[in-house]
Amino acid sequence: MMMSGFKASFRRTLVKRLKNSSIIVLPFFFLIALMPIIYMFSYVFFNFGEVYRWVFNDPISGDARWVFMQKSILLSFEVATLVTIVDIIIGLPMAWILSRYDFWGKKAVDTLVDLPLAVPTSALGFSVFLFWGSRGGLASLFGIETGLFSRGPMMIVLAHIAFTYPYVVRSLTAIIEEVNIGYEYAARTLGASSVTAVRTITLPLIKPGLITGAILAFTRSLGETGATILVCGIYETAPLVIVAWRQLLEIPPAAFLGMIVVAVAVFLLYVATYLAERWRFPLRKVWPKAERFLSGKKPRSVRDLLSTLIFFLLVLIPSAFTLVYMGTWWSGSPFTRSQEAGVVYQVFLAPDRKWLSLWMSILTSLEISTVVTCINLAFGIPMALLVVRGKSRRLRGFLEALLNIPIAIPSAALGFSAYLLWGAKGLGVLSPGFWLVVLVHTAATYPYMVKQVASVLEGLPPMYEEAARTLGAKPFSVFRMVTLPLIMPGILAGTILSFTRSLGETGATIVVMGTIRTVPVIVVNWVEAMALPAAAFASVVLIATSYVLMLLFRHLIDIVVTKPKF
């Protein structure tokens, strides 16, 4: 009797909380994501005298830090712009192939396109470095002992292309599949070639997907730290400079740079969103002969073949090359036959006991990612309900805009702002360590959970819930038995994104980690120490852990949520 009363009370409380979710989720989102950013701006404003001396009038270096800031910001935006352009050029043909063609092995190719999303960026950056910049990579085919490219801007661009490519392809594939192909058939029956029909009819229709993919690629490239730190060499992007100055405890210039990067990133995000609604494809002129030639079977075959080859060369093989490298260096160096240069010795036999450090970092990473994912589940679903089902349209639009801020800004800047607010320079509540890492990872991953659930909720017909209510179901029963199972694809996608992003986060972690070490940080440390075989092993462990736990999450969610017990 007491148990049934407790259940009834719990259900009434839960329904009440869901109805008044703004009381909980809005303060939560403000505290973890917005308040640290606001505090960073206020820190610069109220301490501008100190900031000015550090940045513009240092007794020793003068304005050298300001000059260095400008170079790092310019490099960041140059790389992000170039990466976005390349992603669109090489991603659009692949998206077209996946959405419009049926061929043997299509499912496998479709799965492989998403591979970089499952690889944490530090591991991916290391893999790209091994492929393009090491003696055992692509250079070995040409007899070059130093790698095809040295660390620097070119290597940064190659690494960023590898992990941003899936965002463009997925955004375009989703919208191309929704376009009615009948429009193209109608144009072709009127004499237009297939290229003309696609360029003048289909491209304007897929503009939203093109803009979404471009914004995602640009913001991810602009804020990336984990991959960049392994391939940058002497060149530093703005997120790397923030990390470096934080480690040197040069707080005023780091705060000033963080403020600039956040302001510019958010400004560009909303400018791009604003212009996307008004931008039109400018090319309306038709070139019948050239476009009819390009519509022929041979040019299309060449285009499709080149798109596939470019995908394998620039994205897939560099992303997975760590596996090849680890196998080659497992027992020793393939060049000198030295066992001390192999994976087995460096990880398991060397006096520094790297295997113990790796094991501890794995446990730390899993613990952090699990806590972060649970927090995002608890607060993300109510926020998604508020964004989609909120009574005020203005509030819904405002929340959607705010959710884009943690996605747009570099994670290093987000981590530094949290360090300022919650650390000794601010409220003094949290010291660098486990819980500050959890807080920063939650801020960085929370929007992904909300957006995934909200996207499914938006497409959910209300008739199912209305039918359940008319049949006498209580609000809690409607939510548990109707709404929750129907939005499970979004919850599952948000859980996987939240967990994998937290597991692979590097830039923000380095800023606030204190004495703890996660696997991505271990990879960075071992690469900097030139223990490349050990770093390759750690990368493979990180990738395998991420993949296995994604499958485990899927299984657990199916059991616990989609099959409720009555």
d(CA 476, CA 153): 54
- Residue that the structure tokens 């959890």 belong to: 438
Greater pLDDT, 162 or 452: 162
* Residue 71 lies inside a defined structural domain of this protein: no
> Among 112, 121, 213, 202, which residue's Cα sits nearest to residue 510?
121
User: Do 230 and 375 sit in the same domain of this protein?
Assistant: no
Greater pLDDT, 82 or 179: 82
Give the model's pLDDT for residue 434: 94
**Mean pLDDT over residues 109-116, rounded?**
80
* Residue 42 lies inside a defined structural domain of this protein: no
User: Do 205 and 302 sit in the same domain of this protein?
Assistant: yes
CB 476 within 8 A of CB 362: no
Q: How confident is the model at residue 284 (pLDDT cuts 50, 70, 90)?
A: low
Give the model's pLDDT for residue 564: 45
Q: How far is CA 13 from CA 7, 8, 112, 484, in A?
A: 10, 9, 45, 17
Query: What's the token pair of residue 330?
Result: 């497992």
Q: How confident is the model at residue 178 (pLDDT cuts 50, 70, 90)?
A: confident
CB 163 within 8 A of CB 121: yes
Give the model's pLDDT for residue 279: 66
DSSP character at residue 348: I
- pLDDT for residue 565 is more than 50: no
Give the residue from 290, 306, 328 where a domain finishes: 328
Give the model's pLDDT for residue 333: 85
- Strand pairing partners for 62? 58
Residue-number span of the structural domain to which 229 is assigned: 87-250+263-328
Of 41-45, 81-85, 188-192, give the lowest mean pLDDT range. Answer: 188-192
* Residue 74 lies inside a defined structural domain of this protein: no
User: Do 151 and 291 sit in the same domain of this protein?
Assistant: yes
The 3-state secondary structure of 293-311, one letter per residue = HHCCHHHHHHHHHHHHHHH
* Residue 292 lies inside a defined structural domain of this protein: yes
* Residue 8 lies inside a defined structural domain of this protein: no
- pLDDT for residue 386 is more than 90: no
What is the rounded (10 degree) CA torsion for 251, 255, 261, 266?
150
Query: What's the token pair of residue 359?
Result: 């094991």
Give the model's pLDDT for residue 387: 83
User: Do 245 and 368 sit in the same domain of this protein?
Assistant: no
Per residue in 268-279, pLDDT (tens digit) is: 877 777 766 666
Q: Return the CATH number at 358.
A: 1.10.3720.10
CB 132 within 8 A of CB 147: yes
d(CA 421, CA 418): 5
- Strand pairing partners for 58? 62
The rounded percent of the chain whose pLDDT value lies above 90 is 29
User: Do 215 and 353 sit in the same domain of this protein?
Assistant: no
**Mean pLDDT over residues 230-253, rounded?**
91
CB 368 within 8 A of CB 502: yes
SS3 257: helix
Query: What's the token pair of residue 203?
Result: 């491209």
Among the ranges 1-15, 500-514, 546-560, which has the highest mean pLDDT value? 500-514
User: Do 315 and 346 sit in the same domain of this protein?
Assistant: no
**Mean pLDDT over residues 533-556, rounded?**
78
- pLDDT for residue 536 is more than 70: yes
Query: What's the token pair of residue 250?
Result: 């040069």
* Residue 45 lies inside a defined structural domain of this protein: no
**Mean pLDDT over residues 438-443, rounded?**
94
* Residue 215 lies inside a defined structural domain of this protein: yes
User: Do 463 and 314 sit in the same domain of this protein?
Assistant: no
Give the model's pLDDT for residue 307: 86
Give the residue from 287, 307, 328 where a domain finishes: 328
Query: What's the token pair of residue 474?
Result: 């209580």
- pLDDT for residue 106 is more than 50: yes
For residue 453, the one-letter residue type is V
**Mean pLDDT over residues 312-327, rounded?**
90
Per residue in 196-219, pLDDT (tens digit) is: 777 777 777 777 778 878 888 888
CB 128 within 8 A of CB 155: yes
- pLDDT for residue 10 is more than 60: no
Query: What's the token pair of residue 423?
Result: 């650390």
Greater pLDDT, 292 or 329: 329
Q: How many other C-beta atoms lie within 10 A of the C-beta of residue 490? A: 24
User: Do 518 and 473 sit in the same domain of this protein?
Assistant: yes
- pLDDT for residue 8 is more than 90: no
- Residue that the structure tokens 């819930």 belong to: 465
User: Do 323 and 341 sit in the same domain of this protein?
Assistant: no
Q: How confident is the model at residue 352 (pLDDT cuts 50, 70, 90)?
A: confident
Contacts of 450 (CB under 8 A, 6+ apart): 380, 383, 384, 387, 403, 494
| Half-sphere exposure of residue 260: CA atoms within 13 angstroms, side-chain side | 19
Give the model's pLDDT for residue 557: 55
- pLDDT for residue 552 is more than 60: yes
**Mean pLDDT over residues 11-29, rounded?**
64
Q: How confident is the model at residue 473 (pLDDT cuts 50, 70, 90)?
A: low
d(CA 91, CA 462): 36
Give the model's pLDDT for residue 256: 95
Give the residue from 271, 300, 328 where a domain finishes: 328
> Among 110, 308, 97, 288, which residue's Cα sits nearest to residue 199?
288
Give the model's pLDDT for residue 186: 75
CB 33 within 8 A of CB 439: no
Q: How confident is the model at residue 41 (pLDDT cuts 50, 70, 90)?
A: very high
User: Do 309 and 361 sit in the same domain of this protein?
Assistant: no
Per residue in 125-134, pLDDT (tens digit) is: 999 999 998 8
Give the model's pLDDT for residue 554: 59
Contacts of 172 (CB under 8 A, 6+ apart): 91, 92, 95, 96, 99, 206, 209, 210, 213
User: Do 180 and 224 sit in the same domain of this protein?
Assistant: yes
User: Do 193 and 115 sit in the same domain of this protein?
Assistant: yes
Give the model's pLDDT for residue 128: 92
Per residue in 124-177, pLDDT (tens digit) is: 899 999 999 888 788 877 777 777 888 899 999 999 999 899 888 888 887 887
- pLDDT for residue 427 is more than 70: yes
The C-alpha angle 77, 205, 78, rounded to 5 degrees, equals 10
- pLDDT for residue 26 is more than 50: yes
Q: How many other C-beta atoms lie within 10 A of the C-beta of residue 31? A: 14
d(CA 514, CA 162): 30
Give the model's pLDDT for residue 452: 82
Average pLDDT of the residues of the chain:
82
The rounded percent of the chain whose pLDDT value lies above 70 is 82
Q: How many domains does the chain have?
A: 2
Give the model's pLDDT for residue 168: 87
The C-alpha angle 411, 416, 421, rounded to 5 degrees, equals 125
Give the model's pLDDT for residue 241: 93
- pLDDT for residue 397 is more than 50: yes
* Residue 516 lies inside a defined structural domain of this protein: yes
334: Cα separation from own chain's centroid: 35
**Mean pLDDT over residues 21-32, rounded?**
81
